[in-house]
Amino acid sequence: MRTDARLPNWIVRIVRTFTPPGPIPAKFLMTIFLQKHSSIGQALLSIPSTIAVPALGRAREAFYWNMAIAQAGILLIPFVDILSLPFVLNLGLVLTC
């Protein structure tokens, strides 16, 4: 049974908040689920399982980069007293090559 339920804007805003950025916008995602399920409630219940994998992947990637930056900062702590502008420029040049 297909119902042409009009999608409330507050639901689209909630879905947009929790979905990671990607190729499918939140309104299109909700339209697909409304066509597949018969009610807004059933469509909302199927969204968490759909967005879990991309959201966790992006969270893992963000955590990886935060840890890499923190470790680089910790490794540079003993060298703070010998770092000078020419030395930092030389390190930057070496790292970019």
Calpha distance 67→26 (Å, rounded)? 30
Q: For the chain, how many structural domains are there in total?
A: 1
Whether residue 58 lies inside any domain: the answer is yes
Q: Residue 68 is encoded by which pair of tokens?
A: 């890499």
pLDDT in tens, 63-78: 998 998 888 888 877 7
Calpha distance 77→33 (Å, rounded)? 52
Calpha distance 51→73 (Å, rounded)? 33
Residue 58 has pLDDT above 50, yes or no: yes
At 63 the pLDDT is 92
Domain that holds residue 76: 9-96
Return mean pLDDT, the chain: 79
The distance of Cα 90 from the centroid of its chain, to the nearest Å, equals 34
Q: Who has greater pLDDT, 34 or 22? A: 34
Whether residue 50 lies inside any domain: the answer is yes
Residue 1 has pLDDT above 50, yes or no: no
Cα distances from 63 to residues 28, 60, 71, in angstroms, run: 29, 5, 12
